[in-house]
Structure 1
Amino acid sequence: MYRLINLYPTPDDPEEFKRYFVEVHLPLGANVPGAIRRGYAFAPDIQINGDIDCFCVFEADYESKEALLAALATPEAAAAGADVPNYSPKPARSLLYELTEI
């Protein structure tokens, strides 16, 4: 399984971030094909050890690295990516990695 994680920093307007993310961005991102699981969390439910500013975390799992990269190359992913500045002018950190299940 291959995982994408986006870590969003604390926005200037947390309530507007939440509203837009849930009502507009997530439905737009749902059009990106191939994910077998998606999920998110907002602070304060996020527990971070260390000096990382993280207000929101989004995760999506794919069957393989190839499936994730194919999904990211779609027009739907481009549209979702172009939407990010509408709710998060501060850039997110992204992680892509193979998840070894135990």
Structure 2
Amino acid sequence: MLLTIILGFFGGLFGANGIPHYLTGVTGQEHPSPFGSSSVVNAIEGWAMFLLGGILWYFAWIQNYVLSAFISAALGMLVIALVHTQVWVKNPEFYKRMLPGRN
């Protein structure tokens, strides 16, 4: 069960982390990331996050501990959402660079 919780948590975390990178990448926008901020890099990074999240979810053996897997994945998604909100709050210059006209 512990392995299910750990893999579920990181599967949710990586899967949810792929959303902003993938969406900004496929819409041609820049988004800060460790590998660069171009739209191509972000589209690839988002795709890789989805893939990694799916692989972790596959190996989580969710059929044995369904509720634990879903709760841990939801917590992983919440954690990365809170991380992203803190990054955006503490770095308002991202708005100015990415969204011209937004104060």
Same-fold call, TM cutoff 0.5:
no
Query: Would you tell me which structure has more strand in proportion to its own residues?
Result: 1
Q: TM-score, normalised by structure 1?
A: 0.32
Query: Whose relative contact order is higher, 1 or 2, with alpha carbons under 8 Å and at least 6 apart?
Result: 1
Query: Would you tell me which structure has more helix in proportion to its own residues?
Result: 2
